[in-house]
Homo-oligomer: A and B are copies of this chain.
Amino acid sequence: MARLTREQSQARTKAKLLASAREVVAREGYEGATIERIAEEAGFSKGAFYSNFNGKEDIFLYLLETHAGEDVVELQALLGPIENPRDLIDTLSNWAQERSTDPSWGMLALELFRHARRNATFGERHSNLFRAQWEGLGKILLRMFPEGEAPAGPTALGGIVFELTYGAASSFTNGPTVGELVKVALTSMYKAYGAEKKAT
């Protein structure tokens, strides 16, 4: 196997540190997750950590940005080919259900929300991040409605789905599931403001 270039090697180090950070914060909480521990579990020194990230907040925002971006890319790939609004609603509800039951992302999101509430700078980057994520999904959802007939702008449409998906209380109820909540909200929007598309 060819030796890794410096860029490849650095990208691999960064990815390992991110994976380690995700696991450590899900297990120990934000305050409990130390840079030493994150570096150690990834198999690196603190020096390697600091040559990739400015500190703990930086790696967590990077993690959250990566994740939020991945959600939208994943949803575009998943929903892109679907023309029929009812199929789109079913597919998105199933995605929300699966995502909401992934314990490590749920825990990580809670830790980050909590930290962002206490820290204005972190909160500002956090805010822009959510807005972009909500809007990205919302633009996909606009497809369910005739032009100008959607019940709200793309940011609000996407926000409803993401808030229900990552809603903290959902993980504690023994039903209705997140998938059901998302389906009720979207089906109602579609029935109220959408229109059946003709099969082509």
Contacts and interface: CB of A to CB of B under 8 A. Distances in A.
Interface in A105-134: 106-107, 109-111, 113-114, 116-117, 123, 126-127, 130-131, 134
A148 B172 CA distance: 28
A114 B28 CA distance: 11
A169 B31 contact: no
Contact of A114 (B103, B110, B175, B192): B110
Given A156-B180, A170-B159, A151 B188 contact: yes
Interface in A54-103: 103
Given A166-B168, A170-B163, A187-B151, A117 B106 contact: yes
Contacts of A175: 155
Nearest to A163: B167
Nearest to A122: B172
A interface majority secondary structure: helix
**Copies of this chain, how many?**
2
B110 A151 contact: no
A181 interface: yes
Interface of A: 29, 31, 103, 106-107, 109-111, 113-114, 116-117, 123, 126-127, 130-131, 134, 151-153, 155-157, 159-160, 162-164, 166-176, 180-181, 184-185, 187-193
